Structure 1
Amino acid sequence: MKHWKNTILSAALLAVLTATPAHALEYTMEAPDDYLFGRPTSDDTIYEWEDPNVDRSKNVALIPPAFGSPTSYLPGSGTPLTPNLIPGALSGGGLVNSAGSVSYPDVEGGNYTAGTAFTQVTSDLYYSAGHLGTLKIPAIGLSTKVYQGTDNAALRKGVGHFKNTSLWDGNCCLAAHNRGTRDDFKDLHTLEPGDTITWTTKLGTRTYEVISVTKVRETDTSGTAATSDNRLTLYTCVRDQRDYRWMVQAIER
Protein backbone atom coordinates (compact mmCIF):
# COMPACT_ATOMS: atom_id res chain seq x y z
CA MET A 1 0.00 0.00 0.00
CA LYS A 2 2.82 2.34 0.94
CA HIS A 3 4.56 1.61 -2.35
CA TRP A 4 1.36 2.38 -4.23
CA LYS A 5 0.98 5.76 -2.50
CA ASN A 6 4.60 6.68 -3.30
CA THR A 7 4.01 5.91 -6.95
CA ILE A 8 0.91 8.13 -7.07
CA LEU A 9 2.71 11.01 -5.32
CA SER A 10 5.71 10.76 -7.65
CA ALA A 11 3.47 10.86 -10.72
CA ALA A 12 1.56 13.86 -9.37
CA LEU A 13 4.82 15.72 -8.58
CA LEU A 14 6.19 15.01 -12.07
CA ALA A 15 2.97 16.32 -13.64
CA VAL A 16 3.26 19.55 -11.65
CA LEU A 17 6.90 20.09 -12.56
CA THR A 18 6.40 19.56 -16.32
CA ALA A 19 3.13 21.43 -16.71
CA THR A 20 3.23 24.58 -18.94
CA PRO A 21 0.91 27.49 -18.17
CA ALA A 22 -1.80 27.74 -20.79
CA HIS A 23 -1.26 31.47 -21.25
CA ALA A 24 2.34 30.90 -22.47
CA LEU A 25 0.99 29.28 -25.60
CA GLU A 26 -1.34 32.13 -26.44
CA TYR A 27 0.31 34.57 -28.87
CA THR A 28 -0.33 36.31 -32.19
CA MET A 29 2.10 37.07 -35.00
CA GLU A 30 1.22 39.75 -37.54
CA ALA A 31 2.66 39.39 -41.01
CA PRO A 32 4.85 42.30 -42.21
CA ASP A 33 3.38 44.85 -44.57
CA ASP A 34 3.84 44.17 -48.24
CA TYR A 35 7.49 44.84 -49.29
CA LEU A 36 8.62 45.31 -45.65
CA PHE A 37 9.90 41.81 -44.97
CA GLY A 38 11.86 41.49 -41.78
CA ARG A 39 10.64 44.86 -40.53
CA PRO A 40 12.30 45.89 -37.23
CA THR A 41 10.08 45.61 -34.14
CA SER A 42 11.48 48.68 -32.40
CA ASP A 43 9.08 51.64 -32.11
CA ASP A 44 11.76 54.14 -33.08
CA THR A 45 12.96 52.95 -36.48
CA ILE A 46 13.75 54.48 -39.82
CA TYR A 47 10.32 53.41 -41.03
CA GLU A 48 8.65 55.70 -38.51
CA TRP A 49 10.08 58.89 -40.00
CA GLU A 50 11.53 58.25 -43.46
CA ASP A 51 9.50 59.16 -46.55
CA PRO A 52 7.85 55.90 -47.66
CA ASN A 53 7.55 57.15 -51.25
CA VAL A 54 11.30 57.08 -51.96
CA ASP A 55 12.33 54.69 -54.70
CA ARG A 56 14.61 52.05 -53.15
CA SER A 57 14.66 49.71 -56.13
CA LYS A 58 17.64 48.83 -58.33
CA ASN A 59 16.64 51.78 -60.54
CA VAL A 60 18.41 54.09 -58.11
CA ALA A 61 20.89 51.64 -56.60
CA LEU A 62 24.53 52.72 -56.49
CA ILE A 63 27.71 50.71 -56.81
CA PRO A 64 29.72 51.94 -53.81
CA PRO A 65 33.10 53.60 -54.36
CA ALA A 66 36.30 51.71 -53.58
CA PHE A 67 36.98 51.10 -49.90
CA GLY A 68 39.15 53.84 -48.45
CA SER A 69 38.63 56.19 -51.40
CA PRO A 70 37.95 59.90 -50.71
CA THR A 71 34.21 59.46 -51.35
CA SER A 72 33.77 56.05 -49.69
CA TYR A 73 32.14 57.55 -46.60
CA LEU A 74 29.96 60.13 -48.33
CA PRO A 75 26.20 59.39 -48.40
CA GLY A 76 24.86 58.81 -51.88
CA SER A 77 28.28 58.35 -53.45
CA GLY A 78 28.98 55.71 -56.08
CA THR A 79 27.97 55.00 -59.66
CA PRO A 80 24.48 53.93 -60.81
CA LEU A 81 23.93 50.18 -60.94
CA THR A 82 21.50 50.55 -63.84
CA PRO A 83 21.90 54.07 -65.26
CA ASN A 84 19.36 53.52 -68.03
CA LEU A 85 16.69 52.65 -65.46
CA ILE A 86 16.94 55.93 -63.55
CA PRO A 87 13.34 57.21 -63.25
CA GLY A 88 12.55 59.29 -66.31
CA ALA A 89 15.64 58.31 -68.26
CA LEU A 90 13.66 56.66 -71.02
CA SER A 91 10.64 58.99 -71.05
CA GLY A 92 10.04 62.48 -72.39
CA GLY A 93 11.70 65.52 -70.94
CA GLY A 94 15.15 66.95 -71.12
CA LEU A 95 18.33 66.26 -69.23
CA VAL A 96 18.33 63.39 -66.79
CA ASN A 97 19.63 63.14 -63.26
CA SER A 98 18.79 60.81 -60.42
CA ALA A 99 15.69 62.81 -59.58
CA GLY A 100 14.11 62.03 -62.92
CA SER A 101 13.60 63.60 -66.30
CA VAL A 102 13.99 67.36 -66.34
CA SER A 103 14.30 70.01 -69.00
CA TYR A 104 15.40 73.58 -69.51
CA PRO A 105 12.89 76.34 -70.12
CA ASP A 106 12.70 77.35 -73.76
CA VAL A 107 14.74 80.39 -74.68
CA GLU A 108 12.45 82.93 -76.23
CA GLY A 109 13.33 84.46 -79.57
CA GLY A 110 14.52 88.04 -79.85
CA ASN A 111 17.08 87.77 -77.07
CA TYR A 112 19.62 89.58 -79.25
CA THR A 113 19.83 93.37 -79.44
CA ALA A 114 21.83 96.01 -81.22
CA GLY A 115 25.52 95.50 -80.59
CA THR A 116 25.24 91.73 -80.18
CA ALA A 117 26.07 89.03 -82.71
CA PHE A 118 23.66 86.33 -83.83
CA THR A 119 23.53 83.59 -86.46
CA GLN A 120 20.11 82.14 -87.16
CA VAL A 121 19.74 78.41 -87.83
CA THR A 122 18.58 77.94 -91.41
CA SER A 123 17.96 74.82 -93.48
CA ASP A 124 21.23 75.18 -95.39
CA LEU A 125 23.24 74.92 -92.16
CA TYR A 126 22.23 71.30 -91.50
CA TYR A 127 24.50 68.45 -92.53
CA SER A 128 23.01 65.61 -94.55
CA ALA A 129 22.91 63.41 -91.43
CA GLY A 130 20.67 65.97 -89.71
CA HIS A 131 23.14 67.54 -87.27
CA LEU A 132 24.34 71.13 -87.04
CA GLY A 133 27.96 70.56 -86.18
CA THR A 134 30.57 68.70 -84.14
CA LEU A 135 31.71 69.56 -80.62
CA LYS A 136 35.10 68.43 -79.33
CA ILE A 137 36.41 68.82 -75.78
CA PRO A 138 39.81 67.07 -75.50
CA ALA A 139 40.08 67.47 -71.70
CA ILE A 140 37.15 65.09 -71.17
CA GLY A 141 37.64 62.98 -74.31
CA LEU A 142 34.47 64.21 -75.98
CA SER A 143 33.74 64.33 -79.70
CA THR A 144 30.05 64.34 -80.60
CA LYS A 145 27.44 65.68 -83.00
CA VAL A 146 25.14 68.57 -82.13
CA TYR A 147 21.44 68.58 -83.01
CA GLN A 148 18.79 71.27 -83.00
CA GLY A 149 16.70 71.45 -79.81
CA THR A 150 17.12 70.30 -76.22
CA ASP A 151 14.22 67.86 -75.98
CA ASN A 152 14.79 64.19 -75.30
CA ALA A 153 14.60 63.28 -78.99
CA ALA A 154 17.61 65.48 -79.74
CA LEU A 155 19.57 64.55 -76.61
CA ARG A 156 19.22 60.84 -77.30
CA LYS A 157 21.42 61.43 -80.35
CA GLY A 158 24.03 63.79 -78.87
CA VAL A 159 24.37 67.37 -77.70
CA GLY A 160 21.42 69.72 -78.21
CA HIS A 161 21.45 73.32 -79.44
CA PHE A 162 19.14 75.77 -77.69
CA LYS A 163 16.60 77.01 -80.20
CA ASN A 164 16.60 80.80 -80.56
CA THR A 165 20.24 81.09 -79.51
CA SER A 166 22.98 81.77 -82.04
CA LEU A 167 24.57 78.93 -83.93
CA TRP A 168 27.82 80.66 -84.79
CA ASP A 169 28.48 84.36 -84.16
CA GLY A 170 27.77 85.52 -80.62
CA ASN A 171 26.63 83.15 -77.86
CA CYS A 172 25.98 79.57 -78.98
CA CYS A 173 24.24 77.61 -76.20
CA LEU A 174 24.30 73.82 -75.94
CA ALA A 175 23.07 71.18 -73.48
CA ALA A 176 23.45 67.43 -73.02
CA HIS A 177 22.77 64.52 -70.70
CA ASN A 178 25.21 63.56 -67.99
CA ARG A 179 23.45 60.30 -67.08
CA GLY A 180 20.80 58.01 -68.45
CA THR A 181 20.39 57.27 -72.13
CA ARG A 182 23.52 59.30 -72.98
CA ASP A 183 26.21 60.93 -70.89
CA ASP A 184 27.99 63.29 -73.28
CA PHE A 185 28.40 65.94 -70.57
CA LYS A 186 29.04 63.59 -67.63
CA ASP A 187 32.42 65.22 -66.96
CA LEU A 188 31.51 68.76 -67.99
CA HIS A 189 31.82 70.06 -64.43
CA THR A 190 35.45 68.88 -64.26
CA LEU A 191 36.60 71.35 -66.91
CA GLU A 192 38.95 74.10 -65.79
CA PRO A 193 39.71 77.60 -67.06
CA GLY A 194 42.11 77.30 -69.97
CA ASP A 195 40.71 74.02 -71.33
CA THR A 196 39.85 74.22 -75.01
CA ILE A 197 36.66 73.42 -76.94
CA THR A 198 36.39 73.10 -80.71
CA TRP A 199 33.11 73.86 -82.50
CA THR A 200 32.74 72.95 -86.18
CA THR A 201 29.77 73.87 -88.38
CA LYS A 202 29.24 74.51 -92.07
CA LEU A 203 30.40 78.05 -91.35
CA GLY A 204 33.84 76.91 -90.21
CA THR A 205 35.78 75.76 -87.14
CA ARG A 206 36.46 77.80 -84.02
CA THR A 207 38.47 77.06 -80.89
CA TYR A 208 37.23 78.40 -77.55
CA GLU A 209 38.87 78.64 -74.13
CA VAL A 210 36.95 77.85 -70.95
CA ILE A 211 36.65 80.90 -68.68
CA SER A 212 34.20 79.68 -66.02
CA VAL A 213 32.48 76.60 -64.56
CA THR A 214 29.59 77.60 -62.30
CA LYS A 215 26.45 76.16 -60.73
CA VAL A 216 23.27 78.10 -61.55
CA ARG A 217 19.58 77.77 -60.79
CA GLU A 218 17.48 75.80 -63.28
CA THR A 219 15.42 78.93 -63.93
CA ASP A 220 18.45 81.15 -64.55
CA THR A 221 18.60 81.67 -68.32
CA SER A 222 20.86 84.73 -68.19
CA GLY A 223 23.71 82.64 -69.61
CA THR A 224 21.80 82.25 -72.86
CA ALA A 225 21.67 85.98 -73.60
CA ALA A 226 23.21 87.14 -76.87
CA THR A 227 26.71 88.62 -76.66
CA SER A 228 28.98 90.74 -78.80
CA ASP A 229 31.87 88.29 -78.43
CA ASN A 230 31.89 84.74 -79.77
CA ARG A 231 31.35 82.18 -77.01
CA LEU A 232 29.95 78.79 -76.15
CA THR A 233 27.69 78.26 -73.13
CA LEU A 234 27.25 74.61 -72.15
CA TYR A 235 24.71 73.22 -69.66
CA THR A 236 24.06 69.94 -67.91
CA CYS A 237 22.38 68.76 -64.70
CA VAL A 238 23.90 68.75 -61.23
CA ARG A 239 23.65 65.27 -59.80
CA ASP A 240 20.96 64.91 -57.11
CA GLN A 241 20.21 68.65 -57.27
CA ARG A 242 17.22 68.96 -59.57
CA ASP A 243 16.99 72.75 -59.19
CA TYR A 244 20.52 73.45 -60.41
CA ARG A 245 22.61 73.20 -63.58
CA TRP A 246 26.31 73.26 -64.35
CA MET A 247 27.11 76.09 -66.73
CA VAL A 248 30.42 76.25 -68.59
CA GLN A 249 31.32 79.32 -70.62
CA ALA A 250 34.15 79.52 -73.13
CA ILE A 251 35.18 82.41 -75.36
CA GLU A 252 36.82 82.30 -78.79
CA ARG A 253 40.62 82.26 -78.63
Structure 2
Amino acid sequence: MDFLFADISLWVYLALFCVALVAGIIDAIAGGGGLITVPALLAAGLSPAEALATNKLQGCAGTLSASYHFVRKGQVKLSDMILPITMTAIGSVLGTILVSYIDSRLLLKAVPIILIGVAIFFLFLPKVQPYIASKVVLSNTQFALIIGTSIGFYDGLIGPGTGAFFSTAYLCFMGLSIISATAHTKVLNATSNLASLIMFTFTGHIVWMLGIAMGIGQWIGAQIGSQLVITKGSKLIRPLVIFMCLAMSIKLLMDA
Protein backbone atom coordinates (compact mmCIF):
# COMPACT_ATOMS: atom_id res chain seq x y z
CA MET A 1 0.00 0.00 0.00
CA ASP A 2 1.31 3.43 -0.93
CA PHE A 3 0.02 6.80 0.21
CA LEU A 4 -0.49 9.76 -2.11
CA PHE A 5 -0.89 13.35 -1.06
CA ALA A 6 -4.67 12.78 -1.00
CA ASP A 7 -4.33 10.23 1.79
CA ILE A 8 -2.00 12.23 4.03
CA SER A 9 -2.28 15.99 4.21
CA LEU A 10 0.46 18.29 3.03
CA TRP A 11 0.88 19.52 6.61
CA VAL A 12 1.69 15.98 7.76
CA TYR A 13 4.29 15.68 5.00
CA LEU A 14 5.84 18.97 6.08
CA ALA A 15 5.79 17.97 9.75
CA LEU A 16 7.45 14.62 9.04
CA PHE A 17 10.00 16.35 6.81
CA CYS A 18 10.97 18.53 9.79
CA VAL A 19 11.02 15.52 12.11
CA ALA A 20 13.34 13.71 9.70
CA LEU A 21 15.62 16.74 9.45
CA VAL A 22 16.06 16.88 13.22
CA ALA A 23 16.48 13.10 13.39
CA GLY A 24 19.11 13.30 10.64
CA ILE A 25 21.17 15.78 12.66
CA ILE A 26 21.01 13.64 15.80
CA ASP A 27 21.58 10.35 13.97
CA ALA A 28 24.68 11.66 12.18
CA ILE A 29 26.19 12.64 15.53
CA ALA A 30 25.13 9.86 17.88
CA GLY A 31 22.74 7.46 16.15
CA GLY A 32 19.24 6.67 17.37
CA GLY A 33 17.35 8.78 14.85
CA GLY A 34 14.76 6.04 14.52
CA LEU A 35 13.75 6.75 18.11
CA ILE A 36 12.28 9.99 16.73
CA THR A 37 11.06 8.98 13.28
CA VAL A 38 9.34 5.63 13.97
CA PRO A 39 6.92 7.04 16.60
CA ALA A 40 6.24 9.98 14.24
CA LEU A 41 5.39 7.59 11.39
CA LEU A 42 3.09 5.58 13.66
CA ALA A 43 1.39 8.81 14.77
CA ALA A 44 0.81 9.66 11.09
CA GLY A 45 -1.34 6.54 10.78
CA LEU A 46 1.06 3.98 9.33
CA SER A 47 0.92 0.38 10.49
CA PRO A 48 3.97 -0.91 12.42
CA ALA A 49 5.22 -2.81 9.35
CA GLU A 50 4.81 0.26 7.13
CA ALA A 51 6.47 2.50 9.73
CA LEU A 52 9.52 0.23 10.03
CA ALA A 53 9.89 -0.25 6.28
CA THR A 54 9.41 3.45 5.48
CA ASN A 55 11.83 4.34 8.27
CA LYS A 56 14.52 2.27 6.55
CA LEU A 57 13.97 4.25 3.34
CA GLN A 58 14.27 7.67 4.95
CA GLY A 59 17.04 6.45 7.28
CA CYS A 60 19.11 5.33 4.28
CA ALA A 61 19.08 8.89 2.97
CA GLY A 62 20.47 10.16 6.28
CA THR A 63 23.25 7.61 6.68
CA LEU A 64 24.25 7.88 3.01
CA SER A 65 24.34 11.67 3.34
CA ALA A 66 26.56 11.52 6.42
CA SER A 67 28.78 8.89 4.79
CA TYR A 68 29.21 11.05 1.68
CA HIS A 69 30.18 14.02 3.84
CA PHE A 70 32.77 12.05 5.84
CA VAL A 71 34.28 10.50 2.71
CA ARG A 72 34.45 13.90 0.99
CA LYS A 73 36.18 15.39 4.05
CA GLY A 74 38.78 12.61 4.09
CA GLN A 75 37.62 11.05 7.36
CA VAL A 76 37.02 7.70 5.62
CA LYS A 77 38.80 5.88 2.79
CA LEU A 78 36.29 3.63 1.05
CA SER A 79 39.10 1.53 -0.45
CA ASP A 80 39.96 0.39 3.09
CA MET A 81 36.34 -0.52 3.85
CA ILE A 82 35.44 -2.83 0.99
CA LEU A 83 35.50 -5.98 3.13
CA PRO A 84 33.72 -4.43 6.18
CA ILE A 85 31.05 -3.03 3.84
CA THR A 86 30.61 -6.41 2.13
CA MET A 87 30.33 -8.39 5.37
CA THR A 88 27.98 -5.83 6.95
CA ALA A 89 25.70 -6.05 3.91
CA ILE A 90 25.68 -9.87 4.07
CA GLY A 91 24.90 -9.81 7.79
CA SER A 92 22.08 -7.29 7.31
CA VAL A 93 20.47 -9.31 4.51
CA LEU A 94 20.61 -12.49 6.61
CA GLY A 95 19.09 -10.70 9.60
CA THR A 96 16.27 -9.23 7.50
CA ILE A 97 15.51 -12.61 5.97
CA LEU A 98 15.51 -14.40 9.32
CA VAL A 99 13.39 -11.80 11.13
CA SER A 100 10.26 -13.82 10.26
CA TYR A 101 11.73 -17.08 11.54
CA ILE A 102 13.52 -16.07 14.76
CA ASP A 103 11.86 -14.88 17.95
CA SER A 104 13.69 -11.57 18.27
CA ARG A 105 11.86 -10.66 21.49
CA LEU A 106 14.41 -12.54 23.59
CA LEU A 107 17.28 -10.66 21.95
CA LEU A 108 15.40 -7.37 22.30
CA LYS A 109 15.23 -7.82 26.08
CA ALA A 110 19.02 -7.75 26.30
CA VAL A 111 19.45 -4.62 24.17
CA PRO A 112 18.64 -2.04 26.93
CA ILE A 113 21.29 -3.56 29.19
CA ILE A 114 23.87 -3.43 26.40
CA LEU A 115 22.94 0.17 25.55
CA ILE A 116 23.33 1.22 29.18
CA GLY A 117 26.76 -0.39 29.10
CA VAL A 118 27.62 1.60 25.97
CA ALA A 119 26.45 4.81 27.69
CA ILE A 120 28.71 4.08 30.69
CA PHE A 121 31.61 3.36 28.32
CA PHE A 122 31.21 6.73 26.59
CA LEU A 123 30.83 8.45 29.96
CA PHE A 124 34.32 7.29 30.97
CA LEU A 125 35.77 7.42 27.44
CA PRO A 126 38.39 10.17 28.15
CA LYS A 127 39.94 8.01 30.86
CA VAL A 128 39.91 4.72 28.98
CA GLN A 129 40.66 5.97 25.44
CA PRO A 130 44.49 6.03 25.89
CA TYR A 131 44.41 2.46 27.23
CA ILE A 132 42.08 1.27 24.46
CA ALA A 133 44.21 2.87 21.74
CA SER A 134 47.19 0.80 22.89
CA LYS A 135 45.22 -2.45 22.90
CA VAL A 136 44.04 -2.79 19.29
CA VAL A 137 43.19 -6.46 18.96
CA LEU A 138 41.52 -6.86 15.54
CA SER A 139 42.87 -6.47 12.03
CA ASN A 140 40.67 -4.91 9.36
CA THR A 141 39.81 -8.38 8.04
CA GLN A 142 38.94 -9.71 11.50
CA PHE A 143 36.86 -6.62 12.22
CA ALA A 144 34.93 -7.10 8.97
CA LEU A 145 34.28 -10.80 9.52
CA ILE A 146 33.39 -10.61 13.21
CA ILE A 147 32.02 -7.14 13.89
CA GLY A 148 30.68 -6.21 10.45
CA THR A 149 28.77 -9.47 9.99
CA SER A 150 27.38 -9.68 13.53
CA ILE A 151 26.26 -6.05 13.93
CA GLY A 152 24.96 -6.01 10.35
CA PHE A 153 22.93 -9.11 11.21
CA TYR A 154 21.65 -7.42 14.35
CA ASP A 155 20.60 -4.33 12.39
CA GLY A 156 18.64 -6.42 9.90
CA LEU A 157 17.03 -8.46 12.68
CA ILE A 158 16.31 -5.79 15.34
CA GLY A 159 18.12 -2.48 14.79
CA PRO A 160 18.08 -0.18 17.87
CA GLY A 161 21.56 1.01 18.85
CA THR A 162 23.37 -0.20 15.73
CA GLY A 163 25.33 3.04 15.37
CA ALA A 164 26.39 3.04 19.01
CA PHE A 165 27.52 -0.59 18.76
CA PHE A 166 29.61 0.08 15.63
CA SER A 167 31.19 3.18 17.21
CA THR A 168 32.07 1.28 20.38
CA ALA A 169 33.57 -1.55 18.35
CA TYR A 170 35.74 0.85 16.36
CA LEU A 171 36.94 2.54 19.57
CA CYS A 172 37.63 -0.73 21.39
CA PHE A 173 39.00 -2.98 18.65
CA MET A 174 40.48 -0.62 16.05
CA GLY A 175 41.79 2.21 18.24
CA LEU A 176 40.16 5.00 16.23
CA SER A 177 39.46 8.46 17.59
CA ILE A 178 35.86 9.25 18.43
CA ILE A 179 35.45 11.38 15.28
CA SER A 180 36.97 8.73 13.02
CA ALA A 181 34.91 6.00 14.70
CA THR A 182 31.74 8.01 14.09
CA ALA A 183 32.68 8.55 10.44
CA HIS A 184 33.42 4.85 9.79
CA THR A 185 30.27 3.88 11.68
CA LYS A 186 28.10 5.92 9.32
CA VAL A 187 29.46 4.08 6.29
CA LEU A 188 28.66 0.67 7.78
CA ASN A 189 25.33 1.91 9.14
CA ALA A 190 24.43 3.12 5.64
CA THR A 191 25.44 -0.29 4.28
CA SER A 192 23.23 -2.26 6.66
CA ASN A 193 20.33 0.15 6.13
CA LEU A 194 20.58 -0.10 2.35
CA ALA A 195 20.84 -3.89 2.37
CA SER A 196 17.82 -4.13 4.67
CA LEU A 197 15.89 -1.62 2.52
CA ILE A 198 16.45 -3.76 -0.57
CA MET A 199 14.85 -6.68 1.25
CA PHE A 200 11.95 -4.49 2.43
CA THR A 201 11.15 -3.49 -1.17
CA PHE A 202 9.81 -7.00 -1.71
CA THR A 203 7.35 -6.77 1.20
CA GLY A 204 5.18 -3.98 -0.21
CA HIS A 205 5.20 -2.09 3.11
CA ILE A 206 7.26 0.94 2.08
CA VAL A 207 5.25 4.16 1.75
CA TRP A 208 7.43 5.55 -0.99
CA MET A 209 6.29 9.18 -1.33
CA LEU A 210 6.38 9.74 2.41
CA GLY A 211 9.72 7.98 2.72
CA ILE A 212 11.22 10.11 -0.06
CA ALA A 213 9.91 13.34 1.50
CA MET A 214 11.41 12.38 4.86
CA GLY A 215 14.55 11.19 3.12
CA ILE A 216 15.17 14.69 1.80
CA GLY A 217 14.89 16.00 5.36
CA GLN A 218 17.23 13.27 6.59
CA TRP A 219 19.78 14.09 3.90
CA ILE A 220 19.85 17.77 4.87
CA GLY A 221 19.94 17.00 8.60
CA ALA A 222 22.74 14.47 8.19
CA GLN A 223 24.84 17.02 6.31
CA ILE A 224 24.43 19.44 9.22
CA GLY A 225 25.11 16.75 11.83
CA SER A 226 28.20 15.34 10.13
CA GLN A 227 29.65 18.84 9.83
CA LEU A 228 29.08 19.33 13.56
CA VAL A 229 30.91 16.05 14.25
CA ILE A 230 34.03 17.37 12.52
CA THR A 231 33.90 20.87 14.01
CA LYS A 232 32.72 20.06 17.55
CA GLY A 233 34.17 16.56 17.97
CA SER A 234 33.90 14.63 21.22
CA LYS A 235 32.40 17.58 23.11
CA LEU A 236 29.23 17.02 21.11
CA ILE A 237 29.39 13.30 20.33
CA ARG A 238 29.92 11.90 23.83
CA PRO A 239 26.97 13.56 25.60
CA LEU A 240 24.61 12.86 22.70
CA VAL A 241 25.65 9.19 22.47
CA ILE A 242 25.10 8.81 26.22
CA PHE A 243 21.71 10.53 26.02
CA MET A 244 20.53 8.54 22.98
CA CYS A 245 21.67 5.20 24.45
CA LEU A 246 19.76 5.90 27.68
CA ALA A 247 16.74 7.17 25.75
CA MET A 248 16.66 4.03 23.58
CA SER A 249 17.02 1.85 26.70
CA ILE A 250 14.09 3.57 28.42
CA LYS A 251 11.96 3.30 25.27
CA LEU A 252 12.69 -0.42 24.86
CA LEU A 253 12.04 -1.12 28.56
CA MET A 254 8.73 0.74 28.40
CA ASP A 255 7.70 -1.21 25.28
CA ALA A 256 8.61 -4.46 27.03
Same fold, TM exceeding 0.5?
no
Query: Normalization by structure 1: what TM-score?
Result: 0.25
Query: Normalization by structure 2: what TM-score?
Result: 0.25
Q: Which has the higher contact order (CA 8 A, sep 6+)?
A: 2
Larger radius of gyration: 1
More strand by share: 1
